[in-house]
């Protein structure tokens, strides 16, 4: 039996082109992330065609750099892990086409990974002691989900967003406040100077017992508030609006996550996704978990963003259970989680 399994992982589902080399699932030898945020800023959001073009421009160089930094070559790799959904189809296919060509050229297994399974796995890299079962809270630009994780490859989505993801609502509010793009970090920064109780924006819990999220009502509330203040000729305190909006959104997310963990008898909550970098969310969740006697796991800021190391980790655990794909693997933009 081989002493170590080396994975070359590739991620290109949205606007970061990333490649990583991971040893035995949890040890990151390199993790190169080429971000396109600056490219898309002028458009106020990710433009799919432009994202695809940039992924293609960058991908081979990103792979070369990941190999170089790991001190390994492509010949040392035992398997290829790659995100095949969900995401922008034109973006996904660059990583997938590249990964499949490597798999064919080197005769090594190809393992397709669900992007959110990757986000959850970022925590295995960060916390050597972490093992399933646990409740995962995924908050990112495109997702707000509660996932019951009972095994490395067994998971069930128990709550999701019914309209906008939290990240989308942040982008919209940031745009209206004239803060720019992406909205999450900008609102988070401004909110630190504001009063979170200044404006009582609506908390949307949906019907009793529901674990789903809806942020469009809260978002609309903010837009209406800004309009009516403008019409009344009153100056808006942007920091107060940002702090109050963020508080309204996070209170619901944290409340539902903690309740779900308690109901399911899980004693650990694992935070994942790009918005996991949000300081308000981290603080509120830390406090709530402490109160309820739950253990909280958060990835470092680098591992919160889209990166290939988390895909390499997830791919390793899929490979361990024989979940290998063939060369016809297709990009699935709306891939559901838990479809192992």
Give the pair of three-digit tokens for residue 315: 């791919």
The CB-of-160 to Zn ion minimum distance in angstroms stands at 15
The CB-of-153 to another protein minimum distance in angstroms stands at 23
Whether 135 and 261 have beta carbons less than 8 Å apart is answered as yes
Whether 162 and 212 have beta carbons less than 8 Å apart is answered as yes
Which residue lies nearer to Zn ion by CB, 126 or 306? Answer: 306
- Residue 236 CB: number of other CB atoms within 10 A? 13
Instruction: Tell me if 103 contacts Zn ion by CB under 5 A.
Output: no
CA dihedral (240, 245, 248, 250) in degrees, to 10, reads -110
The CB-of-306 to another protein minimum distance in angstroms stands at 18
Question: 31 is in the binding site of which of Zn ion, another protein, none (Cβ under 5 to 8 A by kind)?
Answer: none
Distance, in Å, from the CA atom of 4 to the CA atom of 7, rounded to the nearest integer, reads 10
Q: By C-alpha distance, which of 77, 107, 106, 111 is closest to 96? A: 111
The CB-of-48 to another protein minimum distance in angstroms stands at 9
Which residue lies nearer to Zn ion by CB, 10 or 243? Answer: 10
Whether 242 and 191 have beta carbons less than 8 Å apart is answered as yes
Instruction: Tell me if 140 contacts Zn ion by CB under 5 A.
Output: yes
Question: 100 is in the binding site of which of Zn ion, another protein, none (Cβ under 5 to 8 A by kind)?
Answer: another protein
Partners of residue 27 on adjacent β-strands? 23
Contacts to another protein by CB under 8 A: 42-43, 47, 49-50, 52-53, 56, 59-61, 63-64, 74, 90, 93-94, 96-107, 327-331
The CB-of-5 to another protein minimum distance in angstroms stands at 19
Which residue lies nearer to another protein by CB, 48 or 185? Answer: 48
The CB-of-157 to another protein minimum distance in angstroms stands at 26
Question: 306 is in the binding site of which of Zn ion, another protein, none (Cβ under 5 to 8 A by kind)?
Answer: Zn ion
Which 232-261 residues touch Zn ion, going by CB under 5 A?
Answer: none
Instruction: Tell me if 306 contacts Zn ion by CB under 5 A.
Output: yes
Whether 156 and 135 have beta carbons less than 8 Å apart is answered as no
Q: Which residues contact 21 (CB under 8 A, 6 or more apart)?
A: 6, 7, 8, 9, 28, 29, 30, 66, 67, 69, 70, 72, 77, 312
Residues near Zn ion, by CB under 5 A: 140, 306
């Amino acid at each position: 039996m081989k002493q170590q399994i080396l994975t070359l992982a590739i991620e290109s589902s949205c606007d970061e082109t990333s490649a990583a080399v991971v040893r035995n699932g949890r040890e990151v030898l390199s993790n190169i992330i080429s971000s396109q945020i600056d490219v898309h800023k002028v458009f106020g959001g990710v433009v799919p065609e432009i994202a695809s073009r940039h992924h293609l421009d960058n991908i081979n160089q990103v792979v070369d750099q990941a190999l170089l930094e790991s001190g390994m070559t492509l010949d040392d790799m035992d398997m290829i892990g790659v995100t095949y959904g969900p995401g922008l189809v034109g973006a996904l296919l660059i990583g997938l086409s590249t990964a499949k060509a490597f798999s064919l050229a080197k005769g090594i297994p190809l393992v397709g990974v669900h992007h959110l399974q990757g986000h959850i796995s970022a925590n295995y890299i960060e916390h050597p002691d972490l093992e399933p079962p646990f409740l995962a809270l995924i908050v990112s630009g495109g997702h707000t989900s509660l996932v019951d994780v009972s095994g490395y490859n067994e998971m069930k989505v128990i709550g999701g967003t019914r309209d906008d993801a939290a990240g989308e609502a942040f982008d919209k509010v940031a745009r209206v406040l004239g803060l720019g793009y992406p909205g999450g970090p900008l609102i988070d920064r401004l909110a630190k100077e504001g009063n979170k109780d200044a404006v009582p924006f609506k908390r949307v819990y949906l019907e009793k017992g529901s674990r789903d999220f809806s942020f469009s009502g809260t978002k609309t509330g903010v837009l209406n508030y800004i309009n009516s203040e403008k019409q009344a000729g009153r100056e808006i305190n942007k920091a107060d609006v940002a702090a109050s909006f963020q508080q309204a959104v996070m209170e619901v997310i944290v409340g539902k996550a903690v309740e779900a963990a308690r109901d399911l008898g899980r004693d650990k909550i694992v935070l994942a996704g790009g918005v996991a970098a949000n300081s308000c969310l981290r603080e509120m969740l830390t406090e709530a978990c402490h109160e309820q006697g739950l253990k909280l796991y958060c990835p470092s800021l680098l591992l919160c963003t889209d990166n290939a190391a988390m895909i390499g980790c997830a791919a390793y655990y899929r490979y361990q259970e024989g979940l290998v794909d063939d060369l016809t693997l297709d990009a699935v933009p709306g891939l559901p989680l838990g479809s192992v």
